[in-house]
Homo-oligomer: A and B are copies of this chain.
Amino acid sequence: MKIIENIKELVTAIKRWQSNRKTIGFVPTMGALHEGHLSLIKAARKECERVVVSIFVNPMQFGPEEDFSQYPRDLKKDKRLLKLEKTNLLFIPKTEEIYPEDFNTKVIVDEKLTNTLCGINRPEHFAGVSTMVTKLLILVRPQVVYFGQKDYQQVLVIRRIIKDLNLGCKLEMLPTSRETDGLAKSSRNTYLSSEERQAAANIYKALKLAESMLQVGERNPKEVIEAVRKTLRVESSIEIEYIATKNAETLEDLNVLAGKVLVALAVKLGKARLIDNIIVEVPSGSV
């Protein structure tokens, strides 16, 4: 596995692969790798001739009150895992390599996709994500870039940018990896105390309840949201940031739950802010 820290060397490595017509699969991460990341890397390994992984805890996507400095970092373990997955290239830039002092550009997506769900409480988050990912996609020029469904809003934003800026790669979204009790794998789960970790199982339970309600014919968003809320409230340590049902393609609100429905939520649990979602195909007619 080649480890590269600066952009110039990265460009040289990518150019060499491109002139040899190697297909490139790319998995951008913030490190502290878990099974969710590894499932993306395995998919890239299977589908592409070269696998590039980046590890960069992107300061631009954290708010001033957020956990940038506490975000878990374990580069030694990450490297070991990446070697096991036969990653060809690991890009681990320093902050000043990505954002030199005079850096002054932003890639932004219209607020229909970004000023809702996580964007409401994290106003600069998606500008940070999309600027960073655009830079990486321009540098790595992959055929396929991989993201997990857990960050579903991020997937929509980046899909939008890839199309709008003609970045010429395919975005492949893979299912959220979960613990045996359903909790979505996340680097931030390490923030949880053992009590909080137990309480966290209610998040997926609540989403599964929403799914069941949709499957048996509930079409009223308020009923679904209220049921999710009640399930979460069983655990007093869970503080709800939002629970929402949306058109999964456009993130528009739905008066009647039909079509491809996203049920998404964010909660605070101790020091962790956790997000999760499910997508349910709801037939448009009656049950």
A108 at the interface (CB under 8 A from B): yes
Name 4 extra pairs, CB < 8 A, besides A105-B108, A108-B108, A139-B166. A105-B130, A105-B164, A106-B107, A138-B138
A160 at the interface (CB under 8 A from B): yes
A80 at the interface (CB under 8 A from B): no
A168 at the interface (CB under 8 A from B): yes
In order of increasing CB-CB distance, the 5 nearest A-B pairs are A105-B164, A104-B110, A106-B108, A105-B161, A139-B166
**Across-interface contacts of A163 in B (CB, < 8 A):** 100
**Across-interface contacts of A113 in B (CB, < 8 A):** 104
For residue A107, which residue of chain B has the nearest CB? B107
For residue A250, which residue of chain B has the nearest CB? B102
* Per-position 1/0 for A140-177, Cβ under 8 A of B: 00000000000000000000110111111000000000
CB <8 Å contact, B108 and A166: no
For residue A18, which residue of chain B has the nearest CB? B18
**Across-interface contacts of A104 in B (CB, < 8 A):** 109-110, 112-113, 160, 164
Interface residues on A, range: 20 to 34
**Across-interface contacts of A280 in B (CB, < 8 A):** none
Within 8 A of B (CB), among A81-137: 100, 103-110, 112-113, 130, 134-135
| 12 CB < 8 A contacts A-B | A19-B19, A100-B163, A103-B164, A104-B109, A104-B110, A105-B108, A105-B165, A107-B165, A108-B108, A138-B165, A138-B167, A138-B168
CB <8 Å contact, B168 and A11: yes
For residue A111, which residue of chain B has the nearest CB? B104
User: Which one, B112, B138, B168, contacts A166 given CB within 8 A?
Assistant: B138
A7 at the interface (CB under 8 A from B): yes
**Across-interface contacts of A139 in B (CB, < 8 A):** 166
Complex Cα–Cα for A167 and B135 (A): 8
For residue A10, which residue of chain B has the nearest CB? B166
**Across-interface contacts of A164 in B (CB, < 8 A):** 103-105, 135
Complex Cα–Cα for A141 and B105 (A): 19
Interface core residue of A18, A21, A107 (most chain B CB under 10 Å): A107
**Across-interface contacts of A166 in B (CB, < 8 A):** 7, 11, 135, 138-139
Complex Cα–Cα for A67 and B100 (A): 38
Within the complex, what minimum Cβ distance (angstroms) separates A112 from chain B? Answer: 7
**Across-interface contacts of A105 in B (CB, < 8 A):** 107-110, 130, 160-161, 164-165
Within 8 A of B (CB), among A167-211: 167-168
